[in-house]
Amino acid sequence: MTERIPLSAPDITDAEIAAVTAVLRTPCLSLGPELEAFEKALAEYHGVDHAVVVSSGTAGLHLALLALGIGEGDEVILPSFAFVAVANAVLQVRAMPVFAEIDAATLNLEPAAVERAVSRRTRAILVVHTFGVPAQMDALGTIARRHGLAIIEDACEALGARFGDETESRRVGSFGDLAVFGFYPNKQLTTGEGGAVLCRDAVHAAQLRSLRNQGRRCDGNAAPKSGASISGWLDHAEPGYNYRLSEMACALGRAQLSRLGEMLAMRKAAAQRYDKLLAQTPGVERPPLHRVQREISWFVYAVRLPADVDRDHVQSALAHDGIATGRYFPPIHLQPAWRGHSSATVSLPVTEAIASRMLALPFFNRIEERQQKKVVEALRWAVSSR
């Protein structure tokens, strides 16, 4: 039987299964000690004051925009070469997404294009660290300061990446006013579903905790103890949401975070193996990331095919060999869901040209060199037989 090689795969250890099981043996399955410990560990890892865990990266984006008071009449600058949730979150708060062009090498927002997109309605820049590659936080920070804009980092794909130079670098997520992470199973760290928002400001943190827990102003982390009064539990100071993350998910996240360094090293080694194997594959362009300032946290390994190669043909040829691939990312402004929206009537030639050539290869912590050789062999054959 043909071996199937998935695009991504979670990496869960026995210790992590034991951590989740241990929670299931307690009466506290939500809003308990695991949540507090996971938040503390995330804040410490990033050197920021507050981490608020939520039910997904999308929920985190929604809350980050709400915490900044962004709403109707406001504009938020963001890339179109991104997962669709970033733009949907902006729409969810009734603000206007303004798509800006990306840098062809890093696939991150091009600072000069961001500056051109600033208008008197702009309130924030939503900076996505695409594929785990740190965005130009120095230049983007300067633009934000010059125009009085907030920065929300979307670090859903970039946990552990660092930006800076030889002398000083910091983890992404510690630069913006708020930063959002996602823990879906294809991410560097998973809680099944889940996410987190980091912030520096205690007022933002209190608001995030309240909003994720149905607008309860009481300590957002405290659920009623069994048998105790539930009076505070039914007092809602503002309209909110159920964006809570379960104790089981927090236990898994905390255990995963404790070995994140090891997991990121496995991913970096896998990327280096692809780089080496693909060096002898004519026509397939490897990620051109040699100029990246500091440290990538490898999320996916995506190559660029020649413009005259039929990507669908390549994908089906690989699928025939049991190899999954992904078209990361179709630009948001070209998605059927965005057709007719005024944000979508934008010309982004770099985004469009690059997106049409991208192909993500199978990439996960424990991918074996043997599997990568098989992927590269199949890719070489498919590209040459176009």
Ligand X SMILES: Cc1ncc(COP(=O)(O)O)c(C=O)c1O
- Residue whose tokens read 């539990």: 233
Which residue's Cβ has the minimum distance to ligand X?
57
- Binding of ligand X at residue 108 (CB under 6 A)? no
DSSP per-residue letters across 164-193: E-SS-EEETTSSSSEEEEE--TTSSS--SS
- Binding of ligand X at residue 214 (CB under 6 A)? no
Compute the least distance from the CB of residue 146 to ligand X, in Å. 25
Q: For residue 102, give the 3-state DSSP assignment.
A: strand
Which span sits near ligand X by CB under 6 A: 50-58, 315-323, 355-363, 372-380? Answer: 50-58
Q: Which of 83, 243, 274, 301 binds ligand X (CB under 6 A)?
A: 83
Q: Which of 130, 104, 101 is nearest to 304 (CA)?
A: 104
Which span sits near ligand X by CB under 6 A: 39-47, 152-160, 210-218, 368-376? Answer: 152-160
What is the token pair recorded at 234?
Answer: 């039914």
Chain centre to alpha carbon of residue 14: 26
CA 247 vs CA 207, 223, 250, 253: distances in Å? 21, 12, 5, 10
Q: Which of 85, 98, 117, 198 binds ligand X (CB under 6 A)?
A: 85
Which span sits near ligand X by CB under 6 A: 82-90, 160-168, 235-243, 378-386? Answer: 82-90
**Rounded Cα gap, residues 216 and 147, in angstroms:** 34
Q: Any idea what DSSP says for residue 220?
A: T
- Binding of ligand X at residue 154 (CB under 6 A)? yes
Which span sits near ligand X by CB under 6 A: 77-85, 240-248, 259-267, 369-377? Answer: 77-85
What residues from 167 to 206 belong to the interface with ligand X (CB under 6 A)?
A: 182, 184, 195
Size of residue set near ligand X by CB under 6 A: 14
- Binding of ligand X at residue 57 (CB under 6 A)? yes
Compute the least distance from the CB of residue 378 to ligand X, in Å. 26
**Rounded Cα gap, residues 151 and 143, in angstroms:** 10
- Binding of ligand X at residue 253 (CB under 6 A)? no
Q: Which residues pair with 195 in a beta bridge?
A: 54, 182
Residues contributing to the site for ligand X (CB under 6 A): 56-58, 82-83, 85-86, 128, 154, 156-157, 182, 184, 195
